[in-house]
Structures are given as structure tokens and as C-alpha cells.
Amino acid sequence: MPLCLLVETVPPPSITSAADALALAGVPNVSRETLGRLATFVALIAKWQAATNLVAPATLPDIWRRHVADSAQLVAVFPETGAWLDLGSGAGLPGLVVAILLAERDGHVHLIESDTRKAAFLREAVRSTRAPASVHQGRIETVLASWQTPIDLVTARALAPLPRLLDLIAPLVPLGVRAAFPKGREYRRELDDASQSWEFDLVEHRSRIEDDAVILELTRIRPKPRTP
């Protein structure tokens, strides 16, 4: 008779508050004001969700872990970064979470969003949380075509495959832009596809939140020379 092994899966930790989310993300010792701003932000998402579909409905019960902690870990990985640019900001993940964490230090986050309702949500969230962030409404290609503001790091979460992301930030490449893109378990395939047209130096930061997920840090990004 064949031996059958039962493998018990361990559920993710229960994360039900801003403090829990930041502890999981590796961002400890923040002020009560910062915790309150994050709570205000999450409440706004719940309020706007029905009309705007900011996040996948199935993820709302686990919003502190799936969205807030997952976004906040970027600050743990890049703690000295001051000027951020977030593409396709949507519900403000990760851009507005990062901005809230920068509110008590010298930093600023630029949020690019083309959808009118989501841009309106972002403006309300910036106002309500007093986060150091600016909302740029428009298509990413259009906004970046004339971009001149210095930035330290460009981010995008659940927006597009890596090759597309690199195409989008092409106008910033001559400025020596550095990028941080959270990716899931299929990230190696995306790296292979991107390497067909792009060269870059790469550091893989393991996610603190999801197994098999990473944050891809790309520097020295440049297009590959075209062969005749």
C-alpha cells in the first residue's frame, strides 16, 4: 500500500493593523501619526472601492498584508531614497504608502495615473493623509515624454510585464534612472524577455510578504544596440 504524506500548509500571519503591516514589511518605529495616516488611507480605499474598483475585491479582507505591507517593504529596501516616481499608481500602491512613510522625513512621491476616477481618489488620499505626493493625471508615455523633475527611483506594481515597463521608462534612461519593480513567481521569464532588448545591472531583493516574489532593482539601464 503506497505511503501517503500529508503536507500541512501554514497560513500567512494575520495582519489587521498598520503597526502589524509595517512590522512585517521591516519598517518599525514609526509615529502614531504615520499609523493614523495609513489607517485613513485604507479607510478611503474601502469607501471608494465600490465605485472605482481600486483593488481586487478578494484582497480587501487581507489589505494590510497584501497591499500595505507589500508596498511598505520598498521603503525598507530603499530607506535613503527621497524622490520617487510611481507609474500607474491606481489605488496608491505602492506610491501613496511610500509617501505616507516619507511624511516625517525629506521626501516626495510623484504619482502618474491616467484613469480619471483613480486620479481623483489619489488627490483625495493625498489631501486626507497630508502625504508628500503629487498626482500627474495622464498616460505614462505622455507624462514622461517631457519629464524634467529629478528622481531617485521609479516604481510600478502590478502594472505591466518587465519589457513593457522598460519601454515606458525609456525617456528616463538617459538620466540614469534606477528602477524597483515588485514581481511575482514568473519574474525570471520576464527578465529573459526583457534581456532581448535591454541591458541592465540587476539585484533581486526577496519579498518579505509573498513566497517566490521579489523586488527587481535595475540600474545602468540601456537599450541593446540594434543589429544591422
Angle at the Cα of 22 (from 113 to 49), degrees rounded to 5?
A: 40
pLDDT for residue 9 is more than 60: no
pLDDT computed for residue 15 by the predictor: 82
Let me know: does 88 contact 140? Beta carbons within 8 Å: yes
Q: Domains plus CATH for the chain?
A: 18-223 (3.40.50.150)
* CB contact set of 13 (below 8 Å; sequence gap of 6+): 20, 24, 65
pLDDT computed for residue 106 by the predictor: 87
Closest CA to 184 of 78, 92, 82, 66: 66
Let me know: does 92 contact 112? Beta carbons within 8 Å: no
Distance between CA 101 and CA 38 in Å, rounded? 9
Indicate whether this model's pTM tops 0.75.
yes
What DSSP element (H or E) covers 34?
helix 32-52
* CB contact set of 5 (below 8 Å; sequence gap of 6+): none
Which of the four pLDDT bands, split at 50, 70 and 90, describes residue 1? Answer: very low
Let me know: does 29 contact 79? Beta carbons within 8 Å: no
69-113 pLDDT per residue, tens: 999 999 999 999 999 999 999 999 999 999 999 998 889 999 999
SS3 content of the chain, % helix, strand, coil (to 5): 45, 20, 40
Which of the four pLDDT bands, split at 50, 70 and 90, describes residue 13? Answer: low
Share of the chain above pLDDT 90, in %: 86
pLDDT for residue 7 is more than 70: no
Distance between CA 145 and CA 164 in Å, rounded? 16
**All three cell numbers of 176:** 540614469
